[in-house]
Chains A and B, each alone.
Chain A
Amino acid sequence: MPRPSRFSFVNLQSGLGLLIILLLAVLTSPRSASGGRIFLEVGNLTDILRQVSEIGIMAVGMTLVILTAGIDLSVGSTLALATSIAGLCLTTWAPAAGTPAKLLFAIACALAGSAMVGALNGFVIASLRIQPFIVTLASMIGVRGLARRLTNNTNIDFGFGSDAGSVFARLGSDKSTVVAIFVIVFAVFSVLLSRTVFGRRVRAIGDNQTAALYAGLPIRRTKIYVYTWCGLLAGLAGVIYAAQNHQGNPNAGLSYELEAIAAVVIGGTSLAGGKGSMAGTLIGTLIMGILTNMLRLNNVDSNTEMMLKAVIIIAAVWIQQFDAAGFGKRERR
Chain B
Amino acid sequence: MRKYLALAGLASFLAGCSKPSAPAQKTYFVAFSQCNNAEPYRSAQNELLSRICSKKPDIKLTITDAQQDNSKQIAQIETLILQRPDLLIVAPNERAPLTAVMGKALAAGIPTICLERDIAQPNYTTYIACDNRAIGKMAGQFIVGRLTAKYGKPKGKIVEIRGLLGVEGEINRYAGAHEVFQQYPGIKVVHEAVADWLQAKGRERMLEILRAQPEIDAVYGHNDPMAVGAYLAAQELHREKAMFFVGVDGLGGPAGGIKKVMDGVLAATFYYPLAVDMAMQIGDRILRDPSYKPLKKYMLPTEIITPENARQMYDRLTF
Seen from chain A, the residues whose Cβ lies within 8 Å of a Cβ on chain B are 30, 32-33, 38, 41, 43-44, 47, 51, 148, 152-157, 159-160, 173, 175, 241, 244-247, 249-252, 293, 296-297, 299, 302-303
Contact = CB atoms under 8 A, between A and B. Distances in A.
Contacts of B165: 302-303
Most buried by A among B165, B254, B255: B255
Interface in B181-229: 191-194, 199-200, 203-205, 207-208, 211-212, 214, 225, 228-229
Contacts of B259: 157
A252 B200 contact: yes
20 contacts: A51-B207, A148-B37, A153-B43, A154-B44, A155-B199, A155-B225, A155-B255, A156-B255, A159-B254, A159-B263, A173-B236, A241-B200, A244-B200, A245-B199, A245-B229, A245-B232, A246-B232, A247-B199, A249-B199, A299-B212
A32 B211 CA distance: 8
A229 to B, nearest CB: 24
Nearest to A294: B208
B43 A245 contact: no
Given A152-B47, A246-B199, A250-B38, 11 more contacts: A30-B212, A153-B38, A154-B40, A154-B43, A159-B254, A160-B264, A160-B265, A173-B236, A246-B228, A297-B208, A299-B212
B200 A249 contact: yes
Contacts of A241: 200
Contacts of B47: 152
A244 B201 CA distance: 11
B38 A251 contact: yes
Given A245-B199, A245-B200, A252-B200, A47 B232 contact: no
A51 B200 CA distance: 11
Nearest to A44: B211
B237 interface: yes
A88 to B, nearest CB: 12
A299 B191 contact: yes
A38 B203 CA distance: 19
Contacts of A154: 40, 43-44, 253, 255
B212 A175 contact: no
Nearest to B44: A154
The 6 closest A-B pairs by CB, nearest first: A157-B255, A153-B43, A296-B208, A302-B194, A245-B200, A155-B255
Most buried by B among A152, A156, A251, A303: A251
B43 A38 contact: no
> Which applies to chain B's interface (DSSP): helix, strand, loop or mixed?
helix
Contact of A296 (B203, B205, B264, B265): B205
A147 to B, nearest CB: 11
A155 B211 contact: no
A152 B43 contact: yes
Contacts of A175: 236
Contacts of B205: 296
Nearest to A295: B208
Contacts of A38: 211-212
Nearest to A170: B235
B212 A297 contact: yes
A41 B210 CA distance: 12
Contacts of B263: 159-160
A246 B193 CA distance: 21
Contacts of B253: 154
A157 B38 contact: no
Nearest to B260: A157
A245 B236 CA distance: 12
B43 to A, nearest CB: 4
Contacts of A247: 199, 255
Given A154-B255, A245-B200, A246-B228, A43 B37 contact: no
Contact of B232 (A41, A44, A173): A173
A116 to B, nearest CB: 24
A61 B29 CA distance: 49
A86 B165 CA distance: 31
Contacts of A32: 214
Given A153-B38, A154-B43, A297-B212, A43 B232 contact: no
Contacts of B264: 160
A47 B203 CA distance: 12
Contacts of B203: 244-245
A159 B260 CA distance: 9
Contacts of A30: 212
B48 to A, nearest CB: 12
Given A154-B255, A246-B232, A251-B38, A293 B208 contact: yes
A249 B236 CA distance: 21
Contacts of A159: 254, 263
Most buried by B among A47, A152, A159: A47
Contacts of A249: 199-200
Nearest to B194: A302
Contact of A153 (B37, B214, B265): B37
Contact of A43 (B40, B211, B255): B211
Contacts of B232: 173, 244-246
Given A43-B237, A153-B43, A156-B255, A148 B211 contact: no
Contacts of B254: 157, 159
A110 B244 CA distance: 34
